Amino acid sequence: MRPDGEHDVAGGSAANTALALHRAGHSATLRARYSTDADGDYLYATANDLGVDLRDCVRTSDPATVVRIALSSDGVPQYDFQMNRTADWQWTAQEIGRDLPAGCDAVIIGSLAAVLPPGCDVLQDWASEVAGRGITLAYDPNA
């Protein structure tokens, strides 16, 4: 718990999927954009400490996406998405289009980054190209 009473919890659907695959004994390399700000460093370090393979990630000065959750007096969660111009949404064709790791036989894309601009068009174009090479493509609609 932080001094202000808030709890930091690392997550994100792509990181959670990579972690689940790792824990199940499968090889998984995460391709994600991590901020170099304090929140991004926390997210990156947490994923790394849990064993997620981060060698394919991009580090960027774009701020990290943060979701603040507060409970109302009757216990209903209230979500505050702080995601304007953050790292998750800024994919470029050069970043996402790098060669896949050797032996890659499947790619999973999804969540908000796959459906929100400006990066969604880049991700969707790349996903079409990957699928066209015969690589299994899975879409996680957790949006």
pLDDT digits (tens, 9 = 90+) for 66-119: 988 888 899 899 989 888 899 988 999 999 999 998 888 889 887 788 888 888
Higher pLDDT, 119 or 64: 64
CA atoms 52, 20, 56, 35: torsion sign: negative
Judged against a pLDDT cut of 70, whether residue 4 lies above it is answered with no
| pLDDT of res. 5 | 66
| pLDDT of res. 2 | 59
Mean pLDDT of the chain, nearest integer:
89
Residue 51: left if φ>0, alpha if ψ -120 to 50, beta else—which one? left
What distance in Å separates the CA atoms of residue 120 and residue 125, rounded to the nearest whole number? Answer: 9
Contact 30, 18 (CB under 8 A): yes
Alpha-carbon Rg of the chain, whole angstroms? 16
